[in-house]
Structure 1
Amino acid sequence: MKRRLLLVPLVVPLVVAVVAACSPAASDVDGEVFVPGPMAPAADKRSDAVPVVVDTDLAPDDLAALALLLRHPAVDVVAVTVPMTGQLDCRGTGLLADFFEALAATPPPVACGTTPRGDDGVAFPADWGAGALMHSGLPRDGDPSDLTPVRAPADELIARLARRHADLQVVALGPLTEVAAVLREHPAAYARLDGVITMAGSVDSASHADGVAEWNAGADPVPLAEVVDGPVPVTIVPDDPLPPGAPDGLAGPVVGGLGRVPGFTSPAYWDLATAGIFVHPAAATTETGTWAVDTTEDRGRLRRTGDGDVRVVTALDPDALDEVYRSVFR
Structure 2
Amino acid sequence: MKRATAVAFLASCAVLAGCSAPADLDGETTEVGLPLGPTPTAAPGQDPTPLVVDTDLGADDLLALTFLLRHPDVHVRAITITATGFLDCDTGLDVLGGLISALDASPPPVACGRSNPGPGARSFPAAWAAAAATGSGITPDAGALTASPEPAAQLIAGLAQSTQGLVLVALGPLTNVADVAMQHPQDYAKLAAVHAMAGSVSGPIVDGVAEWNAAADPAALQTVLGAHTPLTLVPEDAVPQANPDTLTIPAARAVIAASTLPAWWDLAAVAALVAPQAGRAQTAQWVLHPTAAGRLVPDGDGPVRVVRSLDGAVLEAEYARVSASG
The answer to whether TM tops 0.5 is: yes
Letter paired with 1:265: L
- The question of whether the paired residues in 1 share the 8 Å contact of 2:38 and 2:276 is answered with no
SS of alignment partner, residue 123 of structure 2: coil
Give the corresponding residue for 2:40. 7
Q: In the superposition, relative to structure 1, how do residues 248 and 232 fare at CA in structure 2: closer, same or farther (>3 Å)?
A: same
When structure 1 is superposed on structure 2, of 80-89 and 50-59 the one drifting more is 80-89
SS in 1 for 2:228: coil
* Distance in structure 1 (CA, Å) of the matches to 2:266 and 2:230: 19
Cα offset, 1:259, TM superposition: 4.6
Structural RMSD (CA): 1.8
TM-superposed deviation, 1:47:
4.5
Task: Tell me the residue number matched to 2:28.
Answer: none
SS in 2 for 1:320: helix
Q: Work out which of the residue numbers 216, 221, 239 in structure 1 matches 2:218.
A: 221
Q: Which whole-Å CA distance do the structure 1 matches of 2:58 and 2:187 have between them?
A: 28
| Residue deviations 1:242-284 (CA, integer Å, cap 9, x gap) | 111312223231111115347x236x32000011011111101
Secondary structure of the residue aligned to 2:147 is coil
Give the Å deviation of 1:236: 0.6
SS of structure 2 residue aligned to 1:260: helix
Structure 1 residue matching 2:249: 3-state secondary structure: coil
Once residues 6 and 82 of structure 1 are traced to their aligned partners in structure 2, the CA distance between those partners, rounded to angstroms, is 25
CA contact (8 A) 1:5 1:234 kept: no
AA aligned to 2:103 is L
Describe the SS at the equivalent of 2:220. Answer: helix
- The residue aligned with 1:327 is 321
The size of the alignment, in residue pairs, is 287
Identity between Structure 1 and Structure 2 (%): 44
Matched with 1:146 is 144
- Superposed structure 1 runs of 4+ greater than 6 Å apart: none
Deviation string 1:119-174 (CA, Å, 9 cap, x unpaired) is 2110101121111132521234x3x2121011000001001111111211111000
Aligned residues of 2:209 and 2:294 also touching (Cα < 8 A) = yes
Higher helix share: 2
* Aligned with 2:301 (options 301, 307, 314): 307
Which of 171, 174, 177 is equivalent to 1:173?
A: 171
Alignment of 1:171-250 (within 5 A): 171-207=169-205, 209-250=206-247
Per the TM alignment, residue 10 of structure 1 is displaced from its structure 2 partner at its CA by: 8.0
- TM-score, with structure 2 as normaliser: 0.84
Task: Give the AA of the match of 1:137.
Answer: G
Q: 1:240 to 1:10 in 2, by over 3 A?
A: farther
Alignment of 1:93-132 (within 5 A): 93-114=93-114, 116-132=116-132
User: Which amino acid counterpart does residue 215 of structure 1 have in structure 2?
Assistant: W
Q: 2:265 aligns with which of 270, 284, 287?
A: 270
Separation in 2 of the partners of 1:283 and 1:9?
Answer: 17
- Please report how far the alpha carbon of residue 8 of structure 1 lies from its aligned counterpart in structure 2 after TM superposition: 4.5
Give the 3 Å change call, closer, same or farther, for CA 9–190 of structure 1 in structure 2. closer
Partner of 1:75: 74
Letter of the 1:290 partner, please give it.
Answer: Q
For 1:318, the equivalent position in structure 2 comes to 312
Contact residue 9 and residue 280 of structure 1 kept, 8 A: no
Whether 1:50 and 2:46 are equivalent positions in the alignment is: no
Cα drift, residue 206 of structure 1: 0.3
Q: Which runs of 5+ in 1 are unaligned?
A: 12-45
Take 1:88 and 1:6, find their aligned partners in 2: how far apart are those partners? 31
Q: 1:252, 1:166 → 2: CA distance? A: 30
Q: CA contact under 8 A between 2:123 and 2:216: conserved in structure 1?
A: yes
